[in-house]
Amino acid sequence: MLDRFRATLLALCTATVLTGPLAAQGRGADSSGAERSTQQSLYLRSVARVFHVAPAEAEVLASWLPHPSELPVLLHLAARTGASPDVVGSLRKSGSSWQRIASRLGIGIAVFHVEVGDQVVDGVLARPLAAFRSHPPSEWHALSLTDLEIGALVNVRVLADAASVSPAEMAALLATPAPDYLATYAMLLRTRSGTGLCVPSAPPT
């Protein structure tokens, strides 16, 4: 079912991917920028909804980060540790890695684990998922993950929740060396609605 879901989504995306650059030439750079702004707004509002924070607060916190796609990591750590999002954001803004921040907040690398079953995933998710699978949980504390890998793992968890799909399905969609979380999430909602950006519906069966 997962392969069929991914194949359907990719097929639905093909027309948009192929015609996007041509359409952008006619509309100009402002239209492209507006589309990206819409993707970011949808992404931030959806992440805020998952963590039950105000959209305005999510936008402020995201502005402290190198990229909006790091917001799920910030809010995930705050939720799991009870720390204020402001504190987590300040630590990240100071240059600390996500793994170091987790350690400073008193939790281990297990907080970033996401279960995708037997799904084989390539790209940035390949190494961290393989590391978790090849070690028992008692040894996870010794693992070392990069900021990009941590961002990918947490985005799989959070965007799956936001879009009402399984983590395995979301991991399959993000199986690239450098996922575009904002565009992928917007495309998923667009193709599932058949019209445009929408509120997530029930997962496909």
* pLDDT tier for residue 15 given thresholds of 50, 70 and 90: very low
Q: Is pLDDT of 20 > 90? A: no
What SS3 class is residue 72?
helix
User: What are the pLDDT digits (tens) for 34-56?
Assistant: 999 999 999 999 999 999 999 99
pLDDT number for residue 194? 64
Q: Is pLDDT of 27 > 60? A: no
Q: Which amino acid is at 87?
A: V
Output the average pLDDT for the chain.
Answer: 85
pLDDT number for residue 119? 84
Asked whether residue 26 is domain-assigned, the answer is: no
* pLDDT tier for residue 123 given thresholds of 50, 70 and 90: very high
Provide the 10 A C-beta neighbour count for residue 96: 16
Across residues 60-84, what is the average pLDDT? 97
* pLDDT tier for residue 25 given thresholds of 50, 70 and 90: very low
Asked whether residue 182 is domain-assigned, the answer is: yes
Angle in degrees, CA 63, 41, 58, rounded to 5? 45
Asked whether residue 23 is domain-assigned, the answer is: no
pLDDT number for residue 32? 85
Asked whether residue 95 is domain-assigned, the answer is: yes
Q: How far apart, in whole angstroms, are the C-alpha atoms of residue 64 and residue 19?
A: 34
* CB environment 111-132: b (16+ within 10 A), e (fewer): bbbbebeebebeebbeebbebb
Asked whether residue 203 is domain-assigned, the answer is: no
Q: Is pLDDT of 143 > 70? A: yes
Asked whether residue 1 is domain-assigned, the answer is: no
pLDDT number for residue 31? 59
Asked whether residue 184 is domain-assigned, the answer is: yes
Asked whether residue 72 is domain-assigned, the answer is: yes
Containing domain of residue 70, as a range? 34-193
Query: Total structural domains in the chain?
Result: 1
pLDDT number for residue 120? 85
